[in-house]
Amino acid sequence: MSRRVAYVNARIVDPASGLDAPGGLLTEDARIADLGPRLFADGVPDAETVIDCGGLVLAPGLIDMRVKIGEPGEDHKETIASVSEAAAAGGVTALACLPDTDPAIDGEPALEFVARRAREIRSTKIFACAAITRGCAGAELAELGLLAEAGAVAFTDGRRAVADSLVMRRALGYASAFDLLLIQHPEDPALVRGGAATAGAMATRLGLPPIPREAEVILVERDLRLVAATGARYHVAHVSTAETIEVLRQAKRRGLPVTCDTAPPYFALTEADIGAYRTFAKLSPPLRGQADREAVVAGLVDGTIDAIASDHQPQDQESKRVPFAIAEPGGIGVETLLPMALELVHNGHLDMARLLALVTCRPADLLRLPLGRLAPGAPADLVLFDPDIGWIVDAEALSSKSKNSPFDGRMVQGRARRTVVDGRTVFADDIAA
C-alpha cells in the first residue's frame, strides 16, 4: 500500500517553474503526486499524514554542489554519516562531495564506497565528483570516461588547481569528447604558495604573508583560452574577485560553455572578518575586500554566477587552533547554507524564487541531476523552512563533526523546519513536527 503525505497551508516556491503561492503538496511514497494553489481547496484527501506548514515556505530540497567529506582518510574531521546529519538539518537533500580524500576518488572502487555508505545511511543523497588527475596530484589524467560511467557527476581536483597547462588542455579535450563537466579551483599555486590572506592593508597590518588577488583571475583566463580551443564544459568554483566575475561575464557573452558558483563567505564576509587572527575565517580562496564582495553580489543578481555552494571544508581543532599563517584553510557551511543565502533576500538583492534557484534547480542542471524541482512525478525531496526566524550561529551546536564555522556568533534569519528525502522525513524540529 502506498504512503501518502499531505502538506497543507504552505507557501509553495518552485524556482524552476516560477511558482510562488499559497497552496498544498501531496507526496505518494518517494514521489510528488500533485501540488498547486488549489490542490486542497475542497478538503484534504485521504493521507496517512497531514502536515500543517503554518504558512512556511515549502520548496525543493537544497542541492549543495561542493562539499568536502573526510571519509575516507580523515574520518576525525567529517564522516558521510555526520555530513548527512548536518545537511539534513540545513535543508540540503542532495550534495556532491569532493574527490580529494585519502585515497582520492580517482577510481571506480572509491566511487562505489561513497555510494554504498550513502545507501546505508539513507539520509541526504550523496553524489561524488571524481578526480581530474590521479591522486588529485595534477600530473596524470584519471580515467574520466570510466569514472563517468561509474556515476561521477563532475570532475575536479577539489581545492587543488590543475596548474599544468598541458594537463588541463588534455583534460578539457577529453571532457569535450565525453561531454563531461570540469570544475576548477581558481588559484595559481605558485602565486598563493606560502600566503595566508589577501594582499592589502589587512594582511599588512596583521603581518600575514599576502596572496595576490590576481592568482584567481590568471588561472581562469588561461583556462578560458583552452575552453575556446576545446569546447568543453568548464565550471569555476567559489569565485571571489571582481576581475574573475567580469572575465566570466564576458566569456558567457562570447558563448563559451562556462559556468561558476560562489560560496556564502564571499558575499557575506570580507577580509576584515579575519579580525585578530581568526583562523575560522581563513579560507581558500581567502576572504576579499568590500569591492569584491559587492561584485559577487552583483554577479548573483545579474546571473553571471550560476549557483551558490556551501564550500563545506571541515577542519579539526589541531588544524585551526594554531597561528593564522600555518592554519589550514576552510570552513564548514552545509548547515548554514540556507540562512546565509537568505541574506540576499532579506537585504533586497534577490526575490525568494531567484535565490532558491541558485541552490536547487541550477546546481541540479549543472550536475545533470533530475532533482531540484517541484512537479508531479519528481522525487519528493523537500525542505520546509521559516525564512524569517532569527538565531545565532553556534558552531558547537552544529551537527558537523568539525566546528570551524566562519559564521560562528553571527545573527542570521531563516532555518529549516523539516527536510524530506524521497518522501521520508530525515530532519524535523519541534515546530514542524
Tell me, what CATH number does 285's domain have? 3.20.20.140
Percent of residues, the chain, with pLDDT higher than 90 = 96
Q: Is 423 part of any domain?
A: no
Q: Is 20 a catalytic residue?
A: no
Show the domain range for 298.
60-367
Q: For residues 79 and 71, what is the distance between their CA atoms, to the nearest angstrom?
A: 5
Statement: the pTM of the whole predicted model exceeds 0.75: yes
**Residue 424: exposed, middle, or buried by beta-carbon count in 10 A (0-12, 13-18, 19+)?**
middle
Q: Is 176 part of any domain?
A: yes
What pLDDT does 430 receive? 63
Q: For residues 392 and 418, what is the distance between their CA atoms, to the nearest angstrom?
A: 19
Q: How far is CA 405 from CA 337, 346, 373, 408, in A?
A: 11, 21, 29, 5
Cell numbers for 256, please give them.
563559451
- Judge whether residue 357 has pLDDT over 60: yes
Q: Is 1 part of any domain?
A: no
Q: For residues 202 and 210, what is the distance between their CA atoms, to the nearest angstrom?
A: 10
Beta bridge mates, 36: 24
Q: Is 119 part of any domain?
A: yes
Q: Is 210 helix (H, G, I), strand (E, B) or coil?
A: strand
- Judge whether residue 48 has pLDDT over 60: yes
Active-site entry in 14, 261, 292, 311: 311
Mean pLDDT of 18-42: 95
What pLDDT does 299 receive? 98
Mean pLDDT score across all residues of the chain: 96
What pLDDT does 2 receive? 78
Q: Is 45 part of any domain?
A: no
Beta bridge mates, 411: 392
- Judge whether residue 94 has pLDDT over 90: yes
- Judge whether residue 433 has pLDDT over 60: no
Q: How confident is the model at residue 204 (pLDDT cuts 50, 70, 90)?
A: very high
Query: In which residue are the cell numbers 519528493 written?
Result: 380
Q: Point out the least confidently predicted range of 40-54, 73-87, 230-244, 369-383.
A: 40-54
- Judge whether residue 328 has pLDDT over 60: yes
**Residue 14: exposed, middle, or buried by beta-carbon count in 10 A (0-12, 13-18, 19+)?**
buried
Mean pLDDT of 210-238: 98
**pLDDT one-digit tens code per residue, 279-311:** 999 999 999 999 999 999 999 999 999 999 999
**Total domains, the chain:** 1
Instruction: Based on DSSP, count helices (H) and strands (E) in the chain, helices before strands.
Output: 14, 18
- Judge whether residue 234 has pLDDT over 90: yes
